């Protein structure tokens, strides 16, 4: 009946999910992580049609949807676009707070990556500052092989 009042009763159920999984990251992302692990080099991809440089690599251009197959090497240096300092602790974080995390546009790339910022006084953080990648001694072919980005020291 359309006018019948339905009594609603909240229901809850308890559960616990353990879900280990593996998935293929694809050819380009595999090369991306292997280059970081084996050579401490950060690569992007360059769309052969519109010339946009994307990092991390994608097999399809984010701008024109053209297929992309080749990596381009980037310097590992870039510019801080924006940042925040995390003070909140959570079990899923890779680093204990407080720590800085930023959006970094690598030189030569048109997109930016998000990563930790280290070796910096938080008060000195500012958008536009130059950063460079610092790699972990032990690398496992994942994004945390980049330990963090640190400020580029001016010479002289
Ligand atoms: Zn494109």
**pLDDT tens per residue across span 77-115:** 999 999 999 999 888 888 899 999 999 999 999 999 999
Choose among 149, 143, 146, 148: nearest CA to 57. Answer: 143
**Domain range holding 42?**
27-151
Residue 59 placed within a domain: yes
What is the whole-number distance in angstroms between the Cα of residue 93 and the centre of ligand 1? Answer: 34
Report CA 84 to chain centroid distance, whole Å. 15
Helix (H) or strand (E) holding 31: helix 27-39
Please state the rounded mean pLDDT for residues 20-30. Answer: 92
Residue 8 has pLDDT above 90, yes or no: no
The pLDDT confidence band at residue 2, using thresholds 50, 70 and 90, is low
What is the whole-number distance in angstroms between the Cα of residue 27 and the centre of ligand 1? Answer: 18
Residue 8 placed within a domain: no
Instruction: Give the model's pLDDT for residue 94.
Output: 82
What is the whole-number distance in angstroms between the Cα of residue 105 and the centre of ligand 1? Answer: 18
Total domains in the chain come to 1
Q: How far apart are CA 138 and CA 102, in angstroms?
A: 23
**Residue 72 phi, psi dihedral angles, 5° rounding:** -125, 140
Neighbour-count burial of 12, counting CB atoms closer than 10 A to its CB (0-12 exposed, 13-18 middle, 19+ buried): exposed
pTM: 0.84
Q: Which residues pair with 84 in a beta bridge?
A: 101
104 touches 112 (CB < 8 A): yes
Residue 100 placed within a domain: yes
149 touches 104 (CB < 8 A): yes
The pLDDT confidence band at residue 41, using thresholds 50, 70 and 90, is very high
Average pLDDT, the chain: 93
Instruction: Give the model's pLDDT for residue 64.
Output: 98
Q: How far apart are CA 42 and CA 39, in angstroms?
A: 9
Instruction: Give the model's pLDDT for residue 50.
Output: 97
Residue 124 placed within a domain: yes
Instruction: Give the model's pLDDT for residue 1.
Output: 55
Residue 34 has pLDDT above 90, yes or no: yes
């Amino acid at each position: 009946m359309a006018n019948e009042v339905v009594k609603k009763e909240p229901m809850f159920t308890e559960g616990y999910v353990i879900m280990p999984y593996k998935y293929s990251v694809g050819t380009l992302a595999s090369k991306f992580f292997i280059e970081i692990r084996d050579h401490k080099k950060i690569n992007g991809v360059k769309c052969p049609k519109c010339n946009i440089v994307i990092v991390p690599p994608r097999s399809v251009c984010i701008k024109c949807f053209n297929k992309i197959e080749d990596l381009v090497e980037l310097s590992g240096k870039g510019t801080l676009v924006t940042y925040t300092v995390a003070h909140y602790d959570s079990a899923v974080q890779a680093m204990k707070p407080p720590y800085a995390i930023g959006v970094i546009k690598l030189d030569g790339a048109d997109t930016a990556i998000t990563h930790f910022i280290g070796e910096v006084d938080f008060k000195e953080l500012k958008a536009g500052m130059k950063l460079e990648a610092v790699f972990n001694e032990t690398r496992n072919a994942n994004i945390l092989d980049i330990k963090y980005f640190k400020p580029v020291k001016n010479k002289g």
